[in-house]
């Protein structure tokens, strides 16, 4: 078994932290793990990508194009940008809250309507679970828990190789104790939202 997850988003959104939660869970599960992450300059508000691979006979930290089983996007445009990482059978989970790049604010670029972005993704691959993770996080108690919403959501995806409990346990290891309840709620909201989407 090999399961490849591509995580994409914007520097500062916690993409790195989410990939660590995934990796740690896989290690506890007794799987082989190889991951690759971005540090340094690209973290300053730029597009970031992390890859997480787990299973047997895993060596490469990078995923070939088209070979990601799951694409987890923290930002809709970034999800759309990374569609070449997946194939027609892959699953997609994306946050729908945009992070508007400075190129748009300064008037050099245009940010497309989120609905258009989502339909473009859906047209390429209908296995899309899109959610306003930020709104769900606010509902759970704090916008910053959007990360936990998304981690909850992927735990409900068809074919995902680890249990909900394993993921929650791994998440709680990296969140501060005082934010535990908020993150548990956020995780659960994300999980239910994805279950409801029925993919």
Partner 1 sequence: MDRLLANSGRLLLLGNEAIARGLIEAGVGVAATYPGTPSSEVGSILEEIAAPAGMYFEYSINEKVAVEVAGAAAASGVRSFAFMKHVGLNVASDAFMTLSYTGVRAGMVIMTADDPSCHSSQNEQDNRYYAKLGLYPMLEPSTPAEARDMLVEAYRISELLQVPVLFRTTTRVNHARGAVELHKAFTPTRRGRFEKDPQRFVPVPANARLLRVEQLKRMERALRMSEGSTLNFVTGSSRVGVVTSGVTYTYAKEWLQDVEILKLGFTNPVPEDKVRRFLEGKQRVVVLEELEPYLEDEVRRIAQQYNIYVEVLGKHTKHLPRAFEFSPDLIISLSSILKVREEKKPLPLPSIKLPSRPPVLCAGCPHRATYYAVKKAVGKDGAIYSSDIGCYTLGIQPPMQTVDYVLCMGASVGAAGGFSEATEQKVVAFIGDSTFFHAGIPPLINAAFNRHKFTLVILDNRTTAMTGHQPNPGTGREFGSVQSPPMPLEPLVRACGVEFVHTVDPYNIKDTIEVMKEAVQYDGLSVVISKHACPLLKTKEGKLVPTRYEIDQEKCVRCYTCVSRFSCPALSKEGGPVKIDATMCIGCGGCAQVCPKQAIEVVR
The binding site for partner 1 (CB under 8 A) comprises 10-12, 19-20, 23-24, 26-27, 32-47, 57-67, 77-78, 80-81, 83-89, 100-112, 116-117, 120-121, 123-125, 143
Q: What's the distance, Cα to Cα, between the start and end of the chain in Å?
A: 21
Instruction: Rank residues 84 and 163 by Cβ distance to partner 1 and give the closer one.
Output: 84
Question: In angstroms, what is the minimal distance from the CB of 90 to partner 1?
Answer: 8
3-state secondary structure of 71: strand
Question: In angstroms, what is the minimal distance from the CB of 106 to partner 1?
Answer: 5
How far, in Å, CA of 108 to CA of 138, rounded?
A: 31
Question: In angstroms, what is the minimal distance from the CB of 172 to partner 1?
Answer: 16
Q: Where are the alpha helices (DSSP H) in the chain?
A: 15-28, 76-81, 102-105, 114-124, 133-140, 146-154, 164-174, 180-197
Handedness of CA 63, 68, 69, 72 (dihedral sign): positive
Instruction: Rank residues 143 and 179 by Cβ distance to partner 1 and give the closer one.
Output: 143
Instruction: Rank residues 114 and 197 by Cβ distance to partner 1 and give the closer one.
Output: 114
Instruction: Rank residues 176 and 198 by Cβ distance to partner 1 and give the closer one.
Output: 176
Question: In angstroms, what is the minimal distance from the CB of 30 to partner 1?
Answer: 9
How far, in Å, CA of 189 to CA of 22, rounded?
A: 18
Question: In angstroms, what is the minimal distance from the CB of 196 to partner 1?
Answer: 25
Instruction: Rank residues 30 and 198 by Cβ distance to partner 1 and give the closer one.
Output: 30
How far, in Å, CA of 76 to CA of 94, rounded?
A: 6
Question: In angstroms, what is the minimal distance from the CB of 199 to partner 1?
Answer: 16
- Exposed / middle / buried, residue 165 (Cβ in 10 Å: 0-12, 13-18, 19+): exposed
Instruction: Rank residues 67 and 182 by Cβ distance to partner 1 and give the closer one.
Output: 67
| Token representation of residue 139 | 């509902």
How far, in Å, CA of 162 to CA of 155, rounded?
A: 7
């Amino acid at each position: 078994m090999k399961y490849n997850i591509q995580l994409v988003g914007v520097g500062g959104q916690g993409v790195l932290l989410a990939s660590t939660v995934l990796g740690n869970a896989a290690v506890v599960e007794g799987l082989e793990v190889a991951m690759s992450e971005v540090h340094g300059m690209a973290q300053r508000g730029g597009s970031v990508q992390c890859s997480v691979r787990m299973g047997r006979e895993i060596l490469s930290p990078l995923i070939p194009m088209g070979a990601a089983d799951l694409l987890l996007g923290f930002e809709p445009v970034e999800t759309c940008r990374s569609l070449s990482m997946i194939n027609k059978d892959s699953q997609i989970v994306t946050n729908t809250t945009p992070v508007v790049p400075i190129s748009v604010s300064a008037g050099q670029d245009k940010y497309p309507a989120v609905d258009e972005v989502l339909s473009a993704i859906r047209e390429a691959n209908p296995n899309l679970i899109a959610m306003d993770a930020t709104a769900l996080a606010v509902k759970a108690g704090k916008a910053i828990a959007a990360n936990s919403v998304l981690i909850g959501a992927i735990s409900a995806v068809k074919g995902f190789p680890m249990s909900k409990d394993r993921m929650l346990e791994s998440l709680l290891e990296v969140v501060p104790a005082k934010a535990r309840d908020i993150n548990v709620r956020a995780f659960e909201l994300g999980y239910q939202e994805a279950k409801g989407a029925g993919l």
